[in-house]
Amino acid sequence: MKKYCFFLLLALFFITPCAQGQTAESAEITSLSGTAEVMLSGAEEYSPAEEGMVLEAGDKIKTQADSSCELSFNEDNSNVVRMSENTGVEVILSGDEKLEMEEGEVFSSVNKLSNDSAFEIRTPTAVSGARGTDWVTKVSEDGTEVEAIDSTPYVRHFESAGIVSKELTLIKQGQATSVKRFERPLPPKPVAFERVEKWKNIKQDVRMRAAEAVIKRQQRPPFDRQDFRKRMQENLRERKQGFEPMVSKEARAPEGLPREGVNRLERKRFENPPGQMMQEKREKILQDKPNFNQSKNERGAQGDDRRVNKPNPQRNRPGTGPRPGGLRR
User: Which element (helix H / strand E) includes 139?
Assistant: strand 134-140
Q: What is the DSSP letter of 75?
A: T
SS3 141: coil
pLDDT score for 4: 36
Tell me: the pLDDT tens digits for 199-218?
999 999 999 999 999 999 99
pLDDT score for 247: 47
What is the rounded distance in angstroms from the CA atom of residue 28 to the CA atom of residue 22?
Answer: 7
Three-state SS string across 258-327, please? CCCCCCHHHHHHHHCCHHHHHHHHHHHHHHHCCCCCCCHHHHHHHHHHHHHHCCCCCCCCCCCCCCHHHC
Q: Which residues of the chain have pLDDT under 70?
A: 1-24, 243-278, 281-282, 284-329
CB 83 within 8 A of CB 106: yes
SS3 91: strand
pLDDT score for 293: 55
pLDDT score for 161: 84
Closest CA to 233 of 40, 28, 37, 34: 40
pLDDT score for 44: 86
CB 155 within 8 A of CB 127: yes
SS3 243: coil
User: Does domain 18-221 bear CATH number 3.30.230.10?
Assistant: no
pLDDT score for 316: 53
pLDDT score for 111: 94
pLDDT score for 13: 41
Distances (CA, A) of 149 to 72, 73, 109: 19, 20, 10
Closest CA to 73 of 64, 65, 82: 82
CA 242 to chain centroid: 21
